[in-house]
Amino acid sequence: MTLLPGVLLLDAAGPEAGRLAAAAADRGHPVHAAATAVAHAGHGPELKGLLAGTVVTDLTRPGQALDDITAYARRHGVGAVLTVNEYLTDLAAQAAAALGLPGNDPGRARAARDKAVMAEAFTAAGVRTPFSVCVRDDTELKAALADERLGVPCVVKPLSGAGSAGVTVVDGPAAAGAAVRAAREAAGAFPGGDPYRVLLQAYAAGSEYSVESLTQDGAPVHLAVTRKQVSGGTVRVETGHSLPVRLPPLVEQDVHRQVEAAIGAAGIRNGASHTEVVVDGAGRCTVIEIGARLGAGHIGLLIEHALGVDVWTALLDTALGRPAQLTPTARGHATVRFVTSPHPGRLTSLSGFPRTGPGVPFVRWRAPIGGRVDRATANAHRLGAFVVAGSDAAEVEERADALLRGIRIRLDPWPESAGQVRAESTSAIAP
Ligand X SMILES: Nc1ncnc2c1ncn2[C@@H]1O[C@H](COP(=O)(O)OP(=O)(O)OP(=O)(O)O)[C@@H](O)[C@H]1O
Shortest reach from residue 242's CB to Mg ion, in Å? 16
236 binds, among ligand X, Mg ion, none (CB under 5 to 8 A by kind): ligand X
> Can you tell me the distance from the alpha carbon of 55 to that of 319, in angstroms, rounded to the nearest whole number?
19
- CB nearer to ligand X: pick between 285 and 288: 288
Asked if the bond preceding 106 is cis, omega within 30° of 0, the reply is: no
> Can you tell me the distance from the alpha carbon of 312 to that of 293, in angstroms, rounded to the nearest whole number?
12
289 is a contact residue toward ligand X (CB under 6 A)? yes
162 is a contact residue toward ligand X (CB under 6 A)? yes
Beta bridge partners of 49: none
288: nearest Cα among 255, 327, 310, 318? 255
Kindly indicate which of the ranges 27-35, 88-96, 201-209, 341-349 contains the residues binding ligand X, using the contact rule CB under 6 A: 201-209
> Can you tell me the distance from the alpha carbon of 93 to that of 99, in angstroms, rounded to the nearest whole number?
10
User: Cβ-closest residue to Mg ion?
Assistant: 276
Does residue 335 sit in helix, strand or coil?
strand
33 is a contact residue toward ligand X (CB under 6 A)? no
- CB nearer to ligand X: pick between 269 and 274: 274
Taking CA atoms, 410 is separated from 156, 157, 274, 372, in Å, by 33, 32, 35, 12
Evaluate the CA torsion angle 416, 418, 423, 427 in order and state its sign: negative
Shortest reach from residue 164's CB to Mg ion, in Å? 6
> Can you tell me the distance from the alpha carbon of 72 to that of 55, in angstroms, rounded to the nearest whole number?
7
- CB nearer to Mg ion: pick between 262 and 393: 262
118 is a contact residue toward ligand X (CB under 6 A)? no
Among residues 29, 222, 236, 269, the one that binds ligand X under rule CB under 6 A = 236
103 is a contact residue toward ligand X (CB under 6 A)? no
- CB nearer to ligand X: pick between 125 and 187: 187
167 is a contact residue toward ligand X (CB under 6 A)? yes
> Can you tell me the distance from the alpha carbon of 98 to that of 132, in angstroms, rounded to the nearest whole number?
32
- In 13-61, which ranges are continuous DSSP H helix? 15-26, 37-42, 45-50
- CB nearer to ligand X: pick between 209 and 312: 209
Kindly indicate which of the ranges 52-60, 271-279, 357-365, 387-395 contains the residues binding Mg ion, using the contact rule CB under 5 A: 271-279
- CB nearer to Mg ion: pick between 32 and 222: 222
Kindly indicate which of the ranges 36-44, 203-211, 214-222, 315-323 contains the residues binding ligand X, using the contact rule CB under 6 A: 203-211
- CB nearer to ligand X: pick between 140 and 208: 208
> 3-class secondary structure for 202-242?
ECCCCEEEEEEEEEECCEEEEEEEEEEEECCCCCCCEEEEE
> Can you tell me the distance from the alpha carbon of 294 to that of 390, in angstroms, rounded to the nearest whole number?
22
Among residues 98, 230, 350, 421, the one that binds ligand X under rule CB under 6 A = 230
78 is a contact residue toward ligand X (CB under 6 A)? no
- CB nearer to Mg ion: pick between 150 and 237: 237
Kindly indicate which of the ranges 19-27, 95-103, 156-164, 216-224 contains the residues binding ligand X, using the contact rule CB under 6 A: 156-164
Among residues 30, 163, 240, 345, the one that binds ligand X under rule CB under 6 A = 163
Do 78 and 54 meet the contact criterion of CB atoms below 8 Å apart? Answer: no
- Give the pairing of strands 31-35 and 6-10: parallel
- Give the pairing of strands 132-135 and 198-202: antiparallel
Give the full edge-to-edge strand order of the sheet including 168-170: 132-135, 198-202, 154-158, 168-170
Distance in Å from the first CA to the final CA of the chain? 59
Which residue type does 197 have? Answer: R
Shortest reach from residue 154's CB to ligand X, in Å? 8
Among residues 157, 293, 343, 346, the one that binds ligand X under rule CB under 6 A = 157
Shortest reach from residue 365's CB to ligand X, in Å? 20
Residues that bind Mg ion (CB under 5 A): 276
Residues that bind ligand X (CB under 6 A): 130, 155, 157, 161-165, 167, 201, 203-204, 208, 230, 236, 238, 276, 278, 288-289, 379
